[in-house]
Chains A and B, each alone.
Chain A
């Protein structure tokens, strides 16, 4: 709990909360706009594509996960306070688990709650609202785990993470079917589509793959991050 509380205190900064809350408010605004401005016959499709997929799963969820998860190890590496964590006798997996738990404690409410609220405000069915909650939470956990390792492994993890999201998740994985099998976005959008009973995304996967692969990615990312941390060269 000591480490968890420490990570929470260091991750929550005013700048991060204000900027991501603004994005959350924008989602709510978009939900309201769709409810009142769009034609009822096309609204459901627009809510799904514009709000849930584009604004939610492509923007709010991965960026929120990136901002907090990459900072969990990135900040102490940059400001050199990592030495105070690394020199403790705490098993490395506990350092990683605490960082993950703290990142999720912030990222899930900041990313998922505004999105689900916006989808609800837009007048979506309860099934779509539930699918949004499950899909976005699932995606937040997967992205957070991956970006936790990124923050430990590279300098300027925020920039590298954004590049990964733009180039790989939004471009390559959509264009190439093989690359789609290595995309968190494709799996989570497939899961969401199955739960919401919506048309599967381009290069989408089966429900089984969507349920199995992201947890595997999470486990592998946690093992790798723990290993990297144990072998890190600390300044």
Chain B
């Protein structure tokens, strides 16, 4: 990954080897649809390997993927894939592939026919053999003669991946490809993405699930409200996310006593009595707080009923990153 972004968090590890040449570069791209700004001044570049595109629903991930595939032009800015404009270059479409988020396919075709069609339209010389290989690659049966309209969501996801990979694209974009897959299939798919990255392909995988992204690889782009708010090494960003103040609700029969005890213990940075049965606490060390709260409750003769994290979702993580 290369190209630091003004105003965002650049978490690339220092002293690492030079980044590989960029295959996808986006320069100050914005996209608005009427009054709605879907993407705002996004700049980044990625090279071969797996890059995760992380963002909550509505953050602009799909819009960004549509732009880098050429499906829609940016309202402002430039996009290059393998040095070419994906919007106007037909040749580049032989070299890129997209697993779109939408589920609909050509419903009357069988899975194999669908993949064979894609191979044919991409001028794959041995389309039949390539289609069989691609269908097997995603653990589906090439001899299955059922039309895709009968497929489950997981099978649809996998056949979409086969459709995208059958022409061996150098650059692959996948929009929420793990949705609808069971845990075993997720694992297989993540392994497949890693293998494609190791082969030297550029693989950009979008997701709104933080833990899922962790398994894709170390490179990550974080989008929030249409802005690129972080890019670089996932572990550094994850640490940043874990180090931010967390808010928790503690249910107890004596909120004032317990709050005072927690403050004097030093594991919280703020305490508010929310109601006669609960208090809100802010802490930067969640694990230490969880250990301390039990002993503090015992010492202050308070009954500890429940501890709930209030901001452990992606939205709050993004809000934190945006506010920095």
Which residues on A are within 8 Å of B, measured CB to CB? 2-3, 6, 9-10, 79-81, 83-91, 233-235
Contact = CB atoms under 8 A, between A and B. Distances in A.
A235 B69 CA distance: 11
B93 A88 contact: yes
A83 B163 contact: no
Nearest to A88: B121
The 9 closest A-B pairs by CB, nearest first: A88-B121, A234-B71, A89-B93, A80-B102, A79-B104, A233-B72, A2-B120, A89-B94, A89-B90
Contacts of B94: 89
Contacts of B105: 81, 84
B71 A87 contact: yes
A3 B121 contact: yes
Given A90-B90, A234-B71, A234-B72, 19 more contacts: A2-B117, A2-B120, A2-B121, A6-B106, A9-B106, A9-B108, A9-B109, A10-B108, A79-B104, A81-B106, A83-B71, A84-B105, A84-B106, A87-B97, A88-B121, A89-B94, A89-B122, A233-B73, A235-B66
B305 interface: no
28 contacts: A2-B117, A6-B117, A9-B106, A9-B108, A9-B109, A79-B104, A80-B100, A80-B104, A81-B106, A83-B98, A86-B71, A87-B70, A87-B98, A88-B93, A88-B118, A88-B121, A88-B122, A89-B90, A89-B91, A89-B121, A89-B123, A90-B121, A91-B90, A234-B66, A234-B71, A234-B72, A235-B66, A235-B102
A235 B100 CA distance: 9
A86 B93 CA distance: 9
Interface of A is mostly: loop
Contacts of B69: 87
A84 to B, nearest CB: 7
Contacts of B91: 89
Contacts of B100: 80, 83
Interface of B: 66, 69-73, 90-91, 93-94, 96-98, 100, 102, 104-106, 108-109, 117-118, 120-123, 163
Contacts of A84: 105-106, 118, 163
B106 A10 contact: yes
A84 B117 CA distance: 10
A81 B66 CA distance: 14
Contacts of B120: 2
A9 B108 CA distance: 8
Nearest to B106: A81
A2 B122 CA distance: 11
Contacts of B104: 79-81
